[in-house]
């Protein structure tokens, strides 16, 4: 086996799969937690010495407010004064909003990586090898890169796909890999007979 052929196939495959995720990062950047939630709500920490419990007035949240906050997928967050005493509270839904945005992000990662992977795979399958022997090497590299992109896109987004979508996606991807194998192996057998 020609080592140059193996190198070209792997380099094209790896570069294409990295390109797919670079495109995703450029077109649809990953949401940042800091854009949804603020961090300065935590109680101030005392520096040095033995920590003492300040005498703080009780700030209680009613059961109705707790239930209402919970129904909105929120948590009660307290704001503290300089003594470390809770002075007010709010119902924060920032974590839930961030998780919803991340779910959407991972679905787009799956859609974009799958679309680009399919383009690469079909380009690799139908690149005319008879016109130039280098086309076979590059085509195989695109198929490998498409398979990598499809695998990593699916693996990244798998937990965010729906319960019934997961097996359908895996069946379709398995069928695609089997189709690629028959198409390429069939072509190689025909070429050997010639």
Burial class (CB in 10 A: 0-12, 13-18, 19+), 75: middle
CB of 152 closer than 8 Å to CB of 184 = no
pTM of the model: 0.73
Residue 130's pLDDT is what? 75
User: What is the average pLDDT score of the chain?
Assistant: 84
Q: 3-state SS of the chain: helix, strand, coil percent to 5?
A: 65, 5, 30
Question: Domain residues of the chain, as ranges?
Answer: 3-32+102-184, 34-96
Q: How far apart are CA 158 and CA 182, in angstroms?
A: 27
Q: How far apart are CA 137 and CA 9, in angstroms?
A: 6
Residue 46's pLDDT is what? 47
Residue 80's pLDDT is what? 82
185 pLDDT band (50/70/90 cuts)? low
DSSP reduced 3-state for 93: coil
76 pLDDT band (50/70/90 cuts)? confident
């Amino acid at each position: 086996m020609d080592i140059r052929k193996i190198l070209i196939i792997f380099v094209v495959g790896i570069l294409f799969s990295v390109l797919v995720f670079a495109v995703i990062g450029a077109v649809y950047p990953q949401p940042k937690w800091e854009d949804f939630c603020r961090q300065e709500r935590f109680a101030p920490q005392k520096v040095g010495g033995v920590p003492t419990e300040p005498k703080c007035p009780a700030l209680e949240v009613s059961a109705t407010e707790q239930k209402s906050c919970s129904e909105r997928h929120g948590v009660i967050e307290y704001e503290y004064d300089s003594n470390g005493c809770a002075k007010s509270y709010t119902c924060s839904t920032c974590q839930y909003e961030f998780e919803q945005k991340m779910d959407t992000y991972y679905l787009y990662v799956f859609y974009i990586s799958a679309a680009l992977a399919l383009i690469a795979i079909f380009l690799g399958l139908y690149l005319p090898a008879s016109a130039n022997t280098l086309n076979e090497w590059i085509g195989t590299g695109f198929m490998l890169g498409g398979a990598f992109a499809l695998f990593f896109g699916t693996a990244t987004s798998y937990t965010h796909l729906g319960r019934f979508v997961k097996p359908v996606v895996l069946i379709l991807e398995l069928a695609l890999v089997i189709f690629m194998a028959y198409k390429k192996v069939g072509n190689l057998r025909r070429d050997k007979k010639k």
